[in-house]
Amino acid sequence: MFAGHIHWREDAEVLKSLGTSYQALVLGASGALGSAFVEALQADTACAQVVGLSRSSQPAFRLEDEASMTAAAALLVAEAQGPFHLIIDATGALTIDGRGPEKHMGALNATQLARAFEVNTIGPALLLKYFVPLLASEQRSIYAKLSARVGSISDNRKGGWYGYRAAKAALNMVLQTVAIEAARKRPHLVVAAMQPGTVASSLSAPFVPAQDCLTAAQSVVGLLSALDDLPAQAAAHFVDYKGDVIAW
């Protein structure tokens, strides 16, 4: 069902901070990183259940279709799945509709910019709207979203990639704002933007040779370890797969 063919020890202890019978949900579970998250969590003896949703799952959702998100979340509730203690949003795209990131200002295109925001900001924001309410409210819980280091405004030293950079920076602001609001009802919630490193996948293939990339498994092991160490607070975290803090 899931791509990647990553082999995990069946007795692996992946996450320690969520107790011994936590439930997990992975959004975007059919992608390279999404499927790696699913397999890692399935291997965790402390994880009681992993649900993976994607364009091809049942229920399915699409980032460009809010109604599909509403239906997917409602079906999970109707089937008494959850409450979840960990939600990973592994959605997003760098190349959209066959177009890669802009290399210079002259390449800016209104349609391409709108699509970058639709896929990398608006869709994930709506996922937060429908799936944060499915998190446990009285116990430690984590909502983690794949972001990108290029979304850091203070770390931008090379320029280029206008739409992707701007969409990820906007996503980070959405996560920060959700963290502030959600903390009022969920004081044990961790909200995190995650930089996975450059992972060998269809997203990175046009830009970086596979031999210079992390495997999905390596990235996921690092990201889950980083999430395990993050404290609950009324603010979002921005960390990479090594656990290092990234400046907003």
151, with CB counted inside 10 A (0-12, 13-18, 19+), is buried
Cα–Cα distance, 61 to 227 (Å, whole number): 25
Lowest-pLDDT range of 8-12, 19-23, 64-68, 86-90: 8-12
Six-digit token string for 102: 């802009």
Average pLDDT on 43-72 reads 96
At residue 141, the pLDDT reads 98
Residue 5 has pLDDT above 80, yes or no: no
Domain ranges of the chain: 22-240
β-bridge pairing 47-53 and 86-89 = unpaired
Q: What CATH code is assigned to 22-240?
A: 3.40.50.720
* Residues 48, 23 contacting (CB under 8 angstroms): yes
Lowest-pLDDT range of 168-182, 188-202, 230-244: 188-202
Residue 3 has pLDDT above 60, yes or no: no
At residue 64, the pLDDT reads 97
Under DSSP, is residue 204 helix (H, G, I), strand (E, B) or coil?
coil
| 113-158 per-position pLDDT tens digit | 999 999 999 999 999 999 999 999 999 999 999 999 999 999 999 9
β-bridge pairing 22-27 and 86-89 = parallel
Mean pLDDT of the chain: 92
Q: Please give the torsion angle defined by the CA atoms of residues 52, 56, 57 and 61, in that order, rounded to the nearest 10 degrees.
A: 80
At residue 227, the pLDDT reads 98
Q: Is the dihedral of CA 164, 167, 173, 178 positive or negative?
A: negative
CA 152 to chain centre: 16
